[in-house]
Amino acid sequence: MATSRGQFNTRIGFILAAAGSAVGLGNIWKFPFEVGQGGGAAFVVLYLTFCFMLCFPVMVSEIAIGRKTQLNPVGAFKKLGHGNWSIIGLLGIIAGVLILSFYNVVAGWAFGYFVEIVQGNFGIGEQFPEYIQQIFKVGAYGIIFMTVTAFIVSKGIAGGIEKASKILMPTLFIMIIGLIAYSLTLDGAMEGIKFYLVPDFSEINGEVVYSALGQAFFSLSLGMGALITYGSYVSKQQNIVRSAALITLTDVSIAFLAGLMIFPFVAYLSNGSMEGVAGGPGLIFMTLPGVFESLGPTLGVVIGSVFFLLLSFAALTSTVSLLEVPVAYLVDEKKIKRPYAVWGMALFIFVIGIPSLLGNGYVESLTSFMEIHKEGEWQTKGFMDFVELIASDTFLPIGGALISIFVAYVWKTNNLNEEIAIGRENAIPLVTKYINFAVSFICPVILGAIAITTILDRFFGVQIF
């Protein structure tokens, strides 16, 4: 029964929830530094192409599978295919659990930074490596973050996820616009914008193409059934294709805006030299507090705390979606009551996230956990990178490839088309044709190839590109 599982009350509620899932640390933390490393605007062009040409058809498929079956990923594949296909759903649920286990750790950092900056502690940027080793402090922020996430998910779809998204997403948007307006007034802002928007195609290589694709997929929350799950709470009045387009558009817009906000800050700090962008993952946690400090004590606290609150809100609507997937599985398949499923899962995921928490300097064996082959060389990486490699770099593209194969060759595109026709007015036939073509050929081939080359390169050092 659909109603006892819960449903989104409004169209915009679903779109905001799904966009909330998509907009996260990926957009605001990862996207800008990937742009920095991948040749500025050249990366942006690739990213946009992948989002619309490759990811959008997968998104439509996921939502359609969810709405058709009104079930969690495991139940959905079982219902539409044969029992064996439910392995795609299971893979997705495992990926979700693993992603949330480390994602929550980083979300905890973001929230901890908010608390530090509110108190005027700008030195936190320089202390970042030490900060993340204070495991009781950082662990406590992780617990707070997981608790808030679980609280929202425990309230169900309309009363929890939808309501939270309707508050958090508009707030996030206002904060980002406010910060952009401010950052553009800074000295050197134009240098930052130039770096961001003038493409340097010479920076494009295999590695960049591949991280743009991975980023697009991760950022849109695809490949693990998060949108199958959200789709299962969508009513038959909703236009799936239009919703998917709006979700994609919102996600890329927020990523784009995050760049507009961050690059002027970096340019200001570096007097236009854009040095900080090479800092990779440290861009936000190490470089930005210094920028806020230079704005003076009062303004710095205001701008800086708004920034880290924004980051925390973005992460929160994503952790909610990550938790909802295993919860929906337990509720539908194992008949466990939502509150038990939520709090049990949250605790379990927090616990398996502990090695990720400890692997940032605190425990040596987890900090230097394994050798991963990246950018042409073997690099010693921590446990968190290992989980990210398995779950998001490997499982998501495999999941995406299998979902497309499933839709095209098991469920069949005419059934997909039938489902997406429901609630869809003014359909553009060419869009349907493209979606069919993409899930039948482009997505399985490219996503499958990405999964295989990732495994060969990262684990075995065999570089194809």
Chain residues in the site for ligand TRP (CB under 6 A):
21-22, 24-27, 99, 218-219, 221, 224, 226, 318, 321-322, 396
Q: Rounded to the nearest whole angstrom, what is the least distance from the CB of residue 17 to ligand TRP in the complex?
A: 11
User: CA dist 13 to 159, 234, 313, Å?
Assistant: 11, 10, 17
User: CA dist 337 to 5, 97, 322, 440, Å?
Assistant: 10, 19, 18, 38
Task: Look at phi and psi of residue 461 and say left if phi exceeds 0, alpha if psi is from -120 to 50, else beta.
Answer: left
Indicate the residue among 255 and 438 with the shorter CB distance to ligand TRP.
255
* Residues linked to residue 374 through DSSP beta bridges, in sequence order: 377
Q: Rounded to the nearest whole angstrom, what is the least distance from the CB of residue 291 to ligand TRP in the complex?
A: 22
Q: Rounded to the nearest whole angstrom, what is the least distance from the CB of residue 418 to ligand TRP in the complex?
A: 26
Q: Rounded to the nearest whole angstrom, what is the least distance from the CB of residue 100 to ligand TRP in the complex?
A: 8
- Token code pair at residue 122: 């700008």
Residue 458 is which amino acid? R
Q: Is residue 238 within 8 Å of 423, Cβ to Cβ?
A: yes
The secondary structure of 20-36 as a DSSP string is HHHSSHIIIIIHHHHHH
Indicate the residue among 211 and 413 with the shorter CB distance to ligand TRP.
211
Q: Rounded to the nearest whole angstrom, what is the least distance from the CB of residue 260 to ligand TRP in the complex?
A: 17
Indicate the residue among 62 and 191 with the shorter CB distance to ligand TRP.
62
Indicate the residue among 103 and 128 with the shorter CB distance to ligand TRP.
103
Report the candidate in 369, 347, 374, 342 with the shortest Cα–Cα distance to residue 358: 369
Indicate the residue among 97 and 269 with the shorter CB distance to ligand TRP.
97
Q: Rounded to the nearest whole angstrom, what is the least distance from the CB of residue 63 to ligand TRP in the complex?
A: 13
Indicate the residue among 99 and 384 with the shorter CB distance to ligand TRP.
99
Angle between helices 297-333 and 338-352 (to 10 degrees): 120
Report the candidate in 362, 325, 114, 340 with the shortest Cα–Cα distance to residue 354: 362
- Can you say how many angstroms the Cα of residue 245 is from the centroid of all Cα atoms in its chain? 17
Alpha-carbon radius of gyration of the chain: 21
How many other β-carbons are positioned within 10 Å of the β-carbon of residue 421?
Answer: 13
- Token code pair at residue 285: 């946690």
CA–CA distance, 233 with 227 (Å, rounded to integer): 10
CA–CA distance, 127 with 134 (Å, rounded to integer): 11
Q: Rounded to the nearest whole angstrom, what is the least distance from the CB of residue 426 to ligand TRP in the complex?
A: 29
Q: Rounded to the nearest whole angstrom, what is the least distance from the CB of residue 49 to ligand TRP in the complex?
A: 18
Indicate the residue among 321 and 356 with the shorter CB distance to ligand TRP.
321
Cβ partners under 8 Å of residue 306, min gap 6: 175, 178, 179
Q: Is 314 exposed, middle or buried (0-12, 13-18, 19+ CB in 10 A)?
A: buried
Indicate the residue among 396 and 416 with the shorter CB distance to ligand TRP.
396
CA–CA distance, 433 with 89 (Å, rounded to integer): 26
Indicate the residue among 179 and 254 with the shorter CB distance to ligand TRP.
254
Indicate the residue among 221 and 270 with the shorter CB distance to ligand TRP.
221
